Amino acid sequence: MSSYKDTTKNFLLGKFHKPGQVINSVKALQGEGFSVYDVYSPFPIHGLDRILGIKRSRLTIAAFLFGMTGTCTALSMMLYMMYFDWPMDIGGKPSYLAPAAVPVSFELTVLFAAFGMVFTFFAVSKMYPGKKPVIMDPRVTDDVMVLAIEKSAIEEADQDKIEGIMMSHGAFEISEKTVHNELFEV
When mean pLDDT is compared over 64-73, 130-139, 166-175, the highest value belongs to 64-73
Which carries the bigger pLDDT value, residue 170 or residue 2? 170
pLDDT (average), residues 42-62: 90
d(CA 36, CA 150): 7
Predicted TM-score of the model (pTM): 0.72
Q: Are 13 and 176 in contact (CB under 8 A)?
A: yes
Band of pLDDT at residue 186, cut at 50, 70 and 90: very low
What is the C-alpha separation between 150 and 145, in angstroms, rounded? 16
In the chain, the domains with their CATH numbers are 9-56+136-180 (3.30.70.260), 59-124 (no CATH)
Task: Dump pLDDT digits (tens) for 108-125.
Answer: 999 999 999 999 998 888
For 90, which DSSP code? S
